[in-house]
Amino acid sequence: MKATVYVTIKQNVLDPQGAAVEGALHSMGFQEVGKVRIGKYLEFELDTTDRLEAEQRVTLMCEKLLANTVIEDYRFELEG
């Protein structure tokens, strides 16, 4: 089974990396860009065929390691 995890910074939390990229895009002439937010994107294989178990395990991984749930949200998709 393949898992895809998206970790994003919560709406009300400042995103300095996004602000830096937005500034860089503006200075390069891309003035139409706004509200840049940057997150992480993870793909991995899971050696299991049990979808429910996979969901529980990936949730645990996100809570324990992949996301800092104080300032980040996460969501994931499972395939196969």
User: Where on the chain is the footprint of its own copies (CB under 8 A)?
Assistant: 6-8, 18, 21-22, 24-25, 28, 30-48, 57, 60-61, 64-66
The CA distance from 52 to 66, in Å, is 19
What is the C-alpha to C-alpha distance for residues 32 and 61, in angstroms, rounded to an integer? 37
Phi-psi region at 29: left, alpha or beta (left = phi > 0; alpha = psi -120 to 50):
left
* Element (DSSP H or E) covering residue 60: helix 51-61
Minimum CB separation from its own copies for residue 14, in Å? Answer: 15
Closest contact distance (angstroms) between CB of 8 and its own copies is: 7
Rounded least distance, CB 70 to its own copies, Å: 19
Instruction: Closer to its own copies by CB, 65 or 70: give it.
Output: 65
Closer to its own copies by Cβ: residue 64 or 70: 64
